[in-house]
Structure 1
Amino acid sequence: MYSVLVPIGTADAGVSRAVETIASFPGRDELSVVIVHVARDVDFIGSDGSYVSLDQEDLSLPSAVESAMEAFEDRGISAQLVVREGDEVDEILETINDESIDQVVVPDKRRSPVGKVIFGGTTLSLIRNSPAPVTVVPSPNVK
């Protein structure tokens, strides 16, 4: 079984292209997909992926995560959802190790270099620190 991890935040940018990229992998019957969503200030994670924060009573998964789960299901690809709490990069790297991931496919929003400095560079950190190969899939609406 070849395992692929897809980290998905709150933005839809690039998610559909990441799903299409994974669906085009050879031997897709042997694929195991893990979608990881990292949230902050989570006090409890339910078995359905919902999470509760003390600041906001009941939070639901971002639409990007739900869309990805549906897209994989529509293509007949098994996808497991992992919801974690903490620093994005640390939690994604820990999931890569915990789940014995073979490859990471990252949907990228394609921020400008200045935007990456201001908002951080999760994708760049994953490229530099991931023990598994990282494929960056740009948003389809970015030229």
Structure 2
Amino acid sequence: MIETILIAVENQRERMQPVIDHAAEMAAGLDADVVLYHVYEDEEFQSLLEARNIESADPDELARQNATVEAAAATLRESGVDFSVGASTGDPSDELLGYIASSDIDHVFVGSRRRSRTGKAIFGSVSQQILFETDVPCTLV
């Protein structure tokens, strides 16, 4: 039974919208809750702090202000889905896998970008690592 769905939120809103739409449809149909989870790479997080002229901030609070998270939240509200927002800093794959393992997540939605096999081998792929390293069912959009 699927009670909690995680959407791995990245910054590219256009690419994320199909992920959000599919997850919202599934969550609404199953009456499941959704966690919108965003990972800030360390440099990105520091840049955000500098841009806001602050020394520290709660990653969850910054994620609530992220344009893609806001768009996802609007879609989920329209679908009548309960959701929460979570965030962390560090390596996206490691952080997402750690959160999934330590939480009661029943299904994961991730987006994917088109990359060659060589590109994936050189640059890595967050979605590929999640698919291969978690025991939780995943939907790749």
Query: What interval of TM-score do these two structures reach, taking the shorter chain for normalisation?
Result: 0.7 to 0.9
Q: Across the two proteins, how many residue pairs are aligned to each other?
A: 128
- Root mean square deviation of aligned Cα: 2.3
Residue 44 of structure 1 is matched in structure 2 by: 57
Unaligned runs of 5+ in 1: 52-59, 138-143
Residue 128 of structure 2 is aligned to residue 124 of structure 1: yes
TM-score by length of 2: 0.77
- Superposed counterparts of 1:1-143, under 5 Å: 2-25=3-26, 28=29, 30-41=31-42, 42=45, 43-45=56-58, 49-50=61-62, 61-137=65-141
% same residue:
25
Deviation at 1:15, TM superposition (A): 1.8
- Mean Cα deviation higher: 71-80 or 27-36: 27-36
Aligned residue type for 1:28: G
Distance 1:27 1:77 in 2: 6
TM-score computed with the length of structure 1 as normaliser: 0.76
Say if 1:27 and 1:68 are closer, same or farther in 2 by CA, change over 3 A.
Answer: closer
Give, in angstroms, the shift of residue 4 of structure 1.
0.7
Deviation at 1:91, TM superposition (A): 0.8
Q: Is the 8 A contact 1:29 1:77 kept in 2?
A: no
Paired with 2:125 and 2:27, the residues of 1 have a C-alpha distance of 30
Comparing 24-33 with 64-73, greater Cα deviation is found at 24-33
Say whether the 8 Å CA contact 2:110–2:138 is kept in structure 1.
yes
Q: Deviations over 1:28-81 (max 9, x none)?
A: 35211011100123443166x227xxxxxxxx8432222111111121111111
Distance 1:114 1:23 in 2: 33
Q: 1:110 to 1:13 in 2, by over 3 A?
A: farther
Decide whether the 8 Å contact of 2:8 with 2:37 is kept in 1.
yes
Going from structure 1 to structure 2, the CA distance change for 1:61 and 1:113 (only over 3 Å counts) comes to: farther
Instruction: Please give the secondary structure, in 1, of the residue aligned with 2:68.
Output: helix
User: What SS is found at the alignment partner of 1:132?
Assistant: coil
AA at the equivalent of 1:50: L
Which contiguous aligned blocks of 4+ residues in structure 1 show a shift greater than 4 angstroms?
A: none
Distance in 2, matches of 1:27 and 1:38, equals 25
